[in-house]
Structure formats: structure tokens, C-alpha cells
Amino acid sequence: MSSGQIRLNTATGEWVIYAPARRKRPQELCQPPQPFPCITNACPFCDDPTRIEPIIFELPNADKTGWQTRVIPNKFPVLMPCGNSDRISEGFYISMQGYGKHEVIIEHPSHDQTPATMSIEEVKALIETYHQRYLDLMADPKIMLAIIFRNHKKEAGASQPHPHSQIIATSFVPRHRRWHEEEAQRYFDRWHRCVYCDMLRDELKEEKRIIEENDSFVAFVPYAAQVPCEVWIMPKQHKADFGSITEAEKGDFASILQRVLARLYKKLDNPAYNYVINSASRYKAEEPQLHWYCQILPRLTTPAGFELGAGISINPSIPEVDADFLRDCTL
């Protein structure tokens, strides 16, 4: 790929420019970590009952002597569980009340753990918490979409160093998500097949971008990765809705997620990253063209003017090289 290449993500319809002239080895892309602001008082997520917010959900630890995961309301929520989702006409414009829910998932009692360093059993508890909160939030008929995500380190948007994820439930479907659903619908209408199942079939056949696999999931660097060392974790069985995950699949998902994050942790010196669980919106959960998956995006590069103006990513790394790099790791 000495002259560069532009690849299409067939599932999303998004193009990615690959610029090998800018290429560095993945580990050379790591940025010096930015420290969190100095906090003089105790961490609000540590086990201090005088500081913790009202607890929405809690899983006990293995010996039932304390908690393993906790869920609390976000102190600075994006959306609020009051009002409704009715649209309001304001002349030419349309608005609605900021209805929704925003929760923080405290992943571990220890201040210094991350899913990359947790045990598989501890990550299983995290996935169980994700699943329980997802089902509960989607039980609200006013909620159209629930997005589970994790921001790791300040560079990725985390405001606290204590290990935590978040879940935001919205009363509308964002255009970005609807666009991906519509792209999958167009592919299904053309071929009568799920684009994600076809993608997974091709990745399993070629093998060169796969970095982890177990009975239920495959983890791979996508053909049109937006950023260096991007990884998708996709269930082998066709399912549109994360809420439909089985007990066995929860264990396999926890295992492969932990192993992928451990590879990033070791090979890229604990990089900043975001991950998000992409699941179907309400009324789409049973449709045949959608397939849920987890997308992990390391923060090794910074989008600049062209990317923001054109809406297209420039990746200085090569997916096949990144996959080799991440596979070459002893866990």
C-alpha cells in the first residue's frame, strides 16, 4: 500500500483514507498521558457511603462481603428522567424536552483497576451489570436507544480516574445511528443478507485481521478501520439487540473483551480509548439486517481540519499490520 488507499466500510458506508506516508508503528503513536486535575478530597466512586450517590443497582462481590459493581445517576447528566419526548414546533424549528436517563457504572471497588487488568470473573460482573441496566432502561417505552460506552483516560473524555462506564438512554435515535441502520437496510434489500454477518464470514475466511476468537465472538481489526488498532468484537450468532445476549454469551463476551483490552494495555502502554456497544434501536431489535457489536477506538491520533470538514477519517496505520501487532502479545 505504498501509494495509499481509500477503503469503504461496507456496513456503514463510510470511507477511510490510508496514508502510509504518515505511517508510524502503533506504539509510536501513543501520546504522553494527561494527568487528571488534582483532587484534594476522596474519590467519589470509592466505597465511602457519605459520598456515593443513590445506588440504582449493585452486584455483590464473590464472597458477598461487599460490592463488585455499582450503578448511580450521573451527577452531571446529559438527559433527565422528567418530562416527555413530545416534539414541539417553534416556527420553522423543532425541539423537545431533554428526556432520557444517564447512569454511571462503577466497574470495581479498587481505584486503580481497569477491565484490562481485572479478572475474567470481574469483567463478567461488569457485563452482567451492562445487561441488567440495558434491559431496565429499554423497558421504558419512551426510550428509543440505550448506548453503553466507556471513556478510558482523560484524553478519551473520562472525568474520573476510577474505573467506570456510562449508559445514556435517549428518547430519539441520533442521525449517526439511523444512518448506519439505513445502510444495513440497503444492503439487506440488495442481497437479502445481513452485512455484518457477511463481514464476519469474510474476516473468518481471510483470518489476517482477527486477533481473538472464542465460541461466541470474534475480535478483529476492521478492513476499513477509522483509527490505528481499532477493534470490533462481534457475536457469531446473528443478533440485532444486545439485550438478547445469553448467559453463555455474556461469559464469552467478558472473556474476549478483557483479552482484547489486555492486548491494547500491553502493546500500547495502556492507551486512552473509547468503546461503545452498538445495539439496535427500539422497533429494530428483531429485524434481520442489524447485528450488535462492540467497537473499541484507541485515541492514538487527533482528527484535524480535513477530517472534520470532510467527515472522513485519515488512518496512518494499516489494519493488517495492526492485527499482526496486537496478536503478537503474551497474555
164 classed as catalytic: yes
What pLDDT sits at residue 115?
Answer: 97
What pLDDT sits at residue 34?
Answer: 62
- Lookup: cell for 97: 424536552
Return the DSSP state at 66: S
E-only strand ranges, 214-267: 217-220, 231-235
- Is 102 annotated among the ligand-binding residues? no
Q: 2 pLDDT band (50/70/90 cuts)? A: low
Model confidence over 283-312: pLDDT tens digits?
998 899 999 999 999 999 888 898 889 889
What pLDDT sits at residue 4?
Answer: 74
Read off the amino acid at residue 45. Answer: F
Q: 27 pLDDT band (50/70/90 cuts)? A: low
What pLDDT sits at residue 25?
Answer: 61
Provide mean pLDDT across the span 135-143. Answer: 96
> Could you give the domains of the chain?
5-84+95-327 (3.30.428.10)
Q: What percent of the chain has pLDDT over 70?
A: 91
Q: Report the Cα–Cα distance between both ends of the chain, in Å, rounded.
A: 31
Give DSSP secondary structure letters for 236-247: SS--S-GGG--H
- Is 46 annotated among the ligand-binding residues? yes
What pLDDT sits at residue 43?
Answer: 82
Active-site choice (102, 108, 164, 180): 164
Q: How far apart are CA 88 and CA 213, in angstroms?
A: 48
What pLDDT sits at residue 49?
Answer: 55
pLDDT at 1 over 70: no
Provide mean pLDDT across the span 184-188. Answer: 96
Model confidence over 34-70: pLDDT tens digits?
665 545 457 888 866 556 678 999 999 988 889 999 9
What pLDDT sits at residue 46?
Answer: 82
Q: How far apart are CA 29 and CA 26, in angstroms?
A: 5
- Is 43 annotated among the ligand-binding residues? yes
Range in 23-32, 43-52, 210-219 with the lowest mean pLDDT: 23-32
What pLDDT sits at residue 40?
Answer: 45
Range in 44-53, 165-174, 179-188 with the lowest mean pLDDT: 44-53
What pLDDT sits at residue 32?
Answer: 64
Instruction: Name the one residue in this structure whose C-alpha cell is 464470514.
Output: 201
- Lookup: cell for 322: 495492526
